[in-house]
Chains A and B, each alone.
Chain A
Amino acid sequence: DAKTTQPNSMESNEEEPVHLPCNHSTISGTDYIHWYRQLPSQGPEYVIHGLTSNVNNRMASLAIAEDRKSSTLILHRATLRDAAVYYCILSVPTDSWGKLQFGAGTQVVVTP
């Protein structure tokens, strides 16, 4: 199964942008790139996902490299509530839909 590689941790100042990198060099053509975040004592929360094109939503932006071997999650203005573990995950196809297999994730620390 395709795997992802992320930095263990990143620190950001409040109201600054945060760029979270993810490498997935073994990605297949049909694998979706998902990002989830998890706050302490909570379940993972969907952030964004994409296949080939860059994606934007109210929470974040996802920039996907042209060769799809890497991607970057962009939080435009970090707040203290954005402090969480961020997981970059490949959705591996099984039958009709995918199977999410989590990597180690990046701990994001936001300082005031």
Chain B
Amino acid sequence: DGGITQSPKYLFRKEGQNVTLSCEQNLNHDAMYWYRQDPGQGLRLIYYSQIVNDFQKGDIAEGYSVSREKKESFPLTVTSAQKNPTAFYLCASSIASGSTDTQYFGPGTRLTVL
């Protein structure tokens, strides 16, 4: 089955700890994205990558970091510098980053920082 996998589904961390969220896709898509979702706020773009070994900041990149060493993988690290990390995180991918390309979403990871 082709799709996007995010793990784990639920994640709990203590304040001040870094945490890495996994995102893997087997759709052979070039572009990958990370979004943050908060209740009543819609989705906000954290980082995106159009090609391996390249990525750009989105609208709310502060306190987050990413890497794109492989086409199928785009992990997101939530650092201790992120002031309010508790949220639902969604990974997406698309064939490329053209205007009509559809973004396909993973099932999400809910991060709770205690």
Chains A and B bind each other: no
* Chain A interfacial positions (CB closer than 8 Å to B): none
* Chain B interfacial positions (CB closer than 8 Å to A): none
